[in-house]
Amino acid sequence: MDRDGLAEFLRVRREALQPADVGLPAGLRRRTPGLRREEVASLATMSTDYYTRLEQGRGPRPSRPVLTGLARALRLSDEERDHLFRLAGEQPGPPPGPPAEVRSGVLRMLARLDVPGWARSPTRRSGCST
């Protein structure tokens, strides 16, 4: 487990998100860039103390469910999620649910059409118009 790398990654990703990105009100006084630690902890369904220890490089090795919650809370891409798992010393495994992005072959096919197109999975919609 790379504690320092994990701590840095969590901090950078937390600071990159704005409250509106995750459906939270901005509030009047924000002394920190991005989300607050307690906001990330709540979104990831973990205690603020545990998240704080992880971000400070003092926490124990997080479990796979904790990492999955953090990836969801921080709105990580599939590549960022894999990186998070590797920093924690875990094998990434497949992301939950259908892919977040439309495959490149589908995008190329839509681009060749002379009409607007829409790619959709049974459970999640990913729009793409040409």
Question: What is the rounded average pLDDT of the residues 19-43?
Answer: 82
* Cβ atoms within 10 Å of 51's Cβ, excluding its own: 26
- For residue 76, give its domain range: 3-87
Helix (H, G, I), strand (E, B) or coil at 57: coil
pLDDT digits (tens, 9 = 90+) for 75-129: 988 889 999 999 998 888 776 666 667 778 888 888 888 888 777 665 444 444 4
Whether 92 maps to a domain, the answer reads: no
Number of H helices, E strands in the chain: 6, 2
12 with 64, same domain: the answer is yes
106 with 73, same domain: the answer is no
Across 45-102, the runs of DSSP E, i.e. the strands, are: none
Whether 28 maps to a domain, the answer reads: yes
Whether 29 maps to a domain, the answer reads: yes
Across 70-123, the runs of DSSP E, i.e. the strands, are: 119-120
Overall pTM surpassing 0.85 (yes/no): no
pLDDT digits (tens, 9 = 90+) for 51-82: 999 999 888 889 888 999 999 899 988 889 99
